[in-house]
Amino acid sequence: MDTEAFIHHISTLPNYGGQIAHIEHIRPLEADYGRLDGALAAPLAVCLKENGLLPLYSHQAQAINSALSGQNVMVATSSASGKTLCYNVPVLQALLTEPGSRALYLFPTKALAQDQLRGLQQIFGPVLKGDEIDTFDGDTPQPERAAIRRKARIVLTNPDMLHLGILPNHQSWAGLLKHLRYVVVDEAHSYRGVFGSHVANVLRRLRRLCRIYGSSPQFIVCSATINNPGEHAGKLSGLPFTVVEADGSPSGGKDFVFWNPPLIDEAKGMRASANSESSALFSQLVSRDIRTLNFTRSRRLTEIIFKYSRQRLLEENSAQAARIKPYRAGYLAKDRRRIEGELFGGQLTGVVATTALELGINIGDLEATILTGYPGSIASTWQQAGRSGRAGGRSLSFLIGRDNPLDQYFMRHPEYFFGKNYESALINPDNPYILKGHLLAAAWELPLVDSDAGYFGPGFTATVTELEGQGLLRRRRGRIHLSPRIDYPAGEVNIRAASGENYALIDSVSGTLLETVETSHAFFQLHTGAIYLHQGESYLVTELDLASRTAHARPTRASYYTVVKDLTDIRVKKVLKSKRCRQTNVHLGEVEVTVSVIGFKKKAHFTEDVIGEETLDLPPQRFASVALWFDIPAGLLDGLEKKGLDAAGGLHAAEHAAIGILPLFALCDRNDIGGVSTARHPDTGKAGIFIYDAYPGGVGIAERGFELVEKLWRTTLQAITECPCQDGCPSCIQSPKCGNNNKPLDKKTAAVIIRSLLTKQPR
């Protein structure tokens, strides 16, 4: 692709207003090759040679050598660096030289498993019979499942199916578990937060059953580049790892453009809609027949940007309007497979997608990627940008800045992003709210024993005792059995959410099920009056039935979307850690969070103007979590009042800004955390700012913030003072989720507060 020509083209269009904040010209890289310590089985070596996969890159050779010597291996290299060979070669070598051995491949999405199946069959078809490699997931037809259990030597699946379908039915999978030689965990950076904490427990249940069946599989884990690859792989599996992270793969080079929507009102910090900018760029690329993926942050935005783009193309290039599609989780399997096939086959020029297409799917000659908003981590940003340019030619990527502190920080400080400051992936397998469900599932699979603490960690004993006290587990003759009144406990655990329960969304016109929505999101997405988008079509929620967990919606032509308003209260239950930082005290502790959804706003498409607000009467949601908080010295507040500054507005603004910046240091999304500011908290007796994990039990985000609190303060101060607005805007101190309509907020006072926290205490 001639990236320079396209950048020149868009910069000469009438609606160009200086949106290019930075262009990083990433140079091509030559390959660095390595050698294997020993010879491979002849059929495998022939396959590699005939498919042009030799010589091996240095990281591939290092990973394969380590795996063949019996080590658990974590490979953390860039997107499109050929990580699949790092596990396919050791697995196929074992299957060719060790009769009866088997392997289990875990991918976070069905689409990725299907893509890897195609690659295995295409490259290594001569090595194994067709029925020896297969996928097993929720889309696998029932008549085919028994044959897969009997014959498949490589089973490609996802953690959900391992959790729900394989482990609870382990007797049917005895052949696999008895001869399991390798477990492959791909795209491990996606296993973070609640999802990663669940997956870690699923893998511990797998290892426990393997021991019973007499196997002890090696693990090969692959990830995008993260800051803690060895630690993360160890927490996921409970095993030690050899880390491979020196990337030897070549690159065709990339132009990476940071694109900031133009300021409409500098004083108010108002920028043009990032969604409109995204659809404009996407339409320009597609209309010039440049194959493009446009990544969005949510299902709703996927649908919105697809609608914007289709409308633009219908006006300018009607032929290309039929060559774009949306893609996201929630669609029926047949619809996802159809879109994947059209994308891989070249029938589609562009797709607007959630992270469902972020992971290592080989889409071929994709030339450009658009990231509509910072994806939440540097690792995910590179992963999404790396979807283009996999064929080896020069490619183009756009990161469009949204109106929030983190996006705008990168627009002003691209050097931080390109300085390779990768975040750490955070999980908490010991979270009791997560561990409980998995211990019940493990007891269903096979009665627990005290030595299982070796698999499930330090929280095992206390959690088992608690479950015994609740009558859910019973100890008998040295073994811990599941209560007879519990049936299939794995079905009660949704590993992609803190809660295992879902709400059903029903089309009230046809009576059909549209989608299911996890309980913790239901009040935010399915409240009465909500606009819900499904496959590009808008639905108005007319009723939310809490008793039956059902929402009813009808098609609508509404020209707006909805955003909820909520209020949060936080109570301190137990202080876990405290430390002195400069002039104040910082704490980490267990808290109880109460969230009340009190209303919603209607925001116009394209302009995003608020065109209406309504109240809601929904029950509060309470959960236990972990928070960090820092006290605001009384002398500082007194000084603010003497200067006539708004202390409450400053605290509120500082809280918003800090929440917006914390994901810079933890591999999390802004929606993974919440906050509260107060001039006097009833549990501390002091003014303070709280930031908490927005999941029951916590997943380690607040703890990470506690460790790096001074760095958090410094970067938050930068975000506030460098923003060009006068009184505060969404790019620095305003929050789209604020239940108080972002009132009161005081940008100047927030800067004074944080600057004071960073001032050293006089001796």
Distance, CA of 743 to CA of 754 (rounded, Å): 19
User: Is 404 within a domain?
Assistant: no
Is 60 found in the same domain as 21? no
Is 338 found in the same domain as 223? no
DSSP secondary structure letters along 671-732: GGEEEEEESS-TTTSSEEEEEEESSTT--SHHHHHHHTHHHHHHHHHHHHHHS--SS--TTT
Nearest to 292 by CA among 311, 274, 276, 279: 279
Is 279 found in the same domain as 234? no
Instruction: Give me Rg for the CA atoms of the chain.
Output: 26
User: Is 416 within a domain?
Assistant: no
Is 721 found in the same domain as 585? yes
Nearest to 735 by CA among 605, 567, 602, 570: 567
Is 234 found in the same domain as 273? no
Listed residues 473, 492, 511: the one ending a domain: 492
- pLDDT value of position 499: 58
- pLDDT value of position 73: 98
User: Is 604 within a domain?
Assistant: no
Element (H, E) at 652: helix 647-661
Is 378 found in the same domain as 346? yes
Please, is 336 exposed, middle or buried when counting C-beta atoms within 10 Å of its C-beta (0-12, 13-18, 19+)? buried
DSSP secondary structure letters along 717-762: HHHHHHS--SS--TTTT--TTBTTTT-S--HHHHHHHHHHHTSPPP
User: Is 542 within a domain?
Assistant: yes
State the pTM of this model.
0.82
Listed residues 244, 264, 288: the one ending a domain: 244
Distance, CA of 344 to CA of 360 (rounded, Å): 13
Output phi, psi for 218, to 5 deg. -80, 150
Displacement of CA 358 from its chain's centroid (Å): 10
Is 256 found in the same domain as 195? no
User: Is 400 within a domain?
Assistant: no
How many CA atoms does the CB half-sphere of 81 hold within 13 Å? 32
Give how many domains the chain has, as a whole number: 5
User: Is 762 within a domain?
Assistant: no
Q: Which residue has the tokens 């400069």?
A: 582
DSSP secondary structure letters along 27-85: PPB---B---SSPPPHHHHHHHHHTT--SPBHHHHHHHHHHHTT--EEEE--TTS-HHH
Helix (H), strand (E) counts: the chain: 26, 29
Distance, CA of 395 to CA of 335 (rounded, Å): 29
Is 312 found in the same domain as 182? no
Q: Which residue has the tokens 């200086």?
A: 18
- pLDDT value of position 763: 44
- pLDDT value of position 697: 87
User: Is 409 within a domain?
Assistant: no
Could you tell me the residue range of the domain that residue 442 belongs to?
432-492
Displacement of CA 172 from its chain's centroid (Å): 32
Is 278 found in the same domain as 363? yes
- pLDDT value of position 344: 80
CATH number of the domain within which 51 lies: 3.40.50.300
Is 240 found in the same domain as 94? yes
Is 206 found in the same domain as 64? yes
Distance, CA of 261 to CA of 281 (rounded, Å): 11
Distance, CA of 198 to CA of 696 (rounded, Å): 13
List per-block mean pLDDT (blocks of 10 residues) for the chain, which spans 763 residues.
95 95 95 97 96 96 98 92 96 96 94 86 87 91 93 96 97 97 95 92 98 98 92 97 96 95 89 94 95 89 91 86 86 78 87 75 77 88 84 88 92 91 86 93 97 95 96 95 93 77 89 84 92 83 95 94 89 96 94 94 83 94 94 90 92 96 83 91 96 90 94 96 93 83 92 93 52
Is 579 found in the same domain as 542? no
How many CA atoms does the CB half-sphere of 516 hold within 13 Å? 12
> What is the three-class DSSP state of 318?
helix
* β-bridge pairing 154-157 and 133-135: parallel
User: Is 121 within a domain?
Assistant: yes
